[in-house]
Amino acid sequence: MNQKTPLPPPDAPREVLTVFAHLASLDTRLRTTYRKLRASVQQGEKIRGELIYVIANREKEIEQRTLELREANETLEQLSREDSLTGLANRRWFAQFLTRAWQGALREGQPVCILIIDIDDFKAYNDHYGHQNGDRCLKLVAEAIQHTVGRASDLVSRYGGEEFVVVLGNTPLEGGLKIAEQIRVAVEGLGIPHQSAKCHPCVTISIGVTSALPTRDTQPETVLVAADRAMYNAKNDGKNKVAYSTTARTGTFQALCLPGDATPRLS
């Protein structure tokens, strides 16, 4: 569009001059239209570039927001699983974990071992030392249990109040008793004073242990109940002890309390 419109010969007749004048007018209009179209194209390219920039930034922003949302959801999920005081798994997460562990053990033909742990005379401790010290005691006991259990595949949970529960995968009763005794010794070794205790001068725990091979006819709650009854046997036998139980399909129960200073052995 840089070529100039040719001029008519000086002696051209009027009809030719009229044609040339019409062509000159048409050329002017075409050049004007071309400039407008070119400006529109350039403006469109500019807008396109700006849109690409905006879209790219928006995609980055969406990606960042998605990542933040995912992290927030993961944090919320973790908080929904944790006991707010001790940081251990809460009762809700324990129930889900036990169900999955039981189903996995059923498939693999492996035993599931459960420990129920209760702090001895904890109400008296709270009444004497106050709830702030009571919370501190719970945290220390929780840390001792978690540190002793150790395996990432196992679960330590705060079951409620001063009660804790441990799920040990692929662990027979003998192995569960060994770990229970280690936990009992670890908590007693904290040396937390307990002047209001009925039996011992420092904070102690009583532990009930049971282990079972899952079958299609049994539910994990059966083992949980057996461990709980064993724990109460330990309480009734003087506290600061480990007791174990075995369950049969008939639901019969047998418990034997072990002295606190003895290595757990099955009779």
Q: Which two tokens stand for residue 193?
A: 């004073």
Q: Are β-strands 253-258 and 242-247 bridged in parallel, bridged antiparallel, or unpaired?
A: antiparallel
166 CB-near residues (< 8 Å, 6+ apart): 114, 115, 117, 145, 149, 154, 155, 156, 157, 179, 183
Q: Give the HSE-up count for residue 187: Cα atoms under 13 Å, Cβ half-sphere.
A: 32
Active-site amino acid positions: 162
pLDDT confidence bin for 16, thresholds 50/70/90: low
The two tokens of residue 196 are: 């209001």
**pTM, entire model:** 0.70
Pairing mode, strands 242-247 and 155-160:
unpaired
Residues 172 and 211 sit within 8 Å (Cβ to Cβ): yes
Cβ within 8 Å of residue 99, ≥6 positions away: 220
Could you read off the pLDDT of 147-170 as tens digits, one per residue?
999 888 899 999 999 999 999 999
| Residue 225 confidence (pLDDT) above 50 | yes
Q: pLDDT for 39-59, tens place per residue? A: 887 887 888 888 888 888 888
Pairwise pLDDT comparison (173 vs 54), residue with the higher score? 173
Distances (CA, A) of 13 to 8, 10, 21: 9, 9, 12
Asked if residue 142 lies in contact with residue 158, where contact means CB atoms within 8 angstroms, the answer is yes
Does the pLDDT of residue 263 top 60, yes or no? no
pLDDT, residue 8, reads: 63
Nearest C-alpha neighbor of 245 from the set 91, 97, 155, 114:
114
Residue 254 pLDDT > 50: no
Which pLDDT does position 205 carry in this prediction?
Answer: 97
Residue 129's contacts (CB-CB under 8 Å, 6 or more residues apart) are 137
Percentage of the chain beyond pLDDT 70 is 84
Query: Are 194 and 121 spatial neighbours (Cβ–Cβ below 8 Å)?
Result: yes
Q: How confident is the model at residue 31 (pLDDT cuts 50, 70, 90)?
A: confident
230 has pLDDT over 60: yes
Cα dist. 148→122, 144, 180 in Å?
Answer: 21, 6, 9
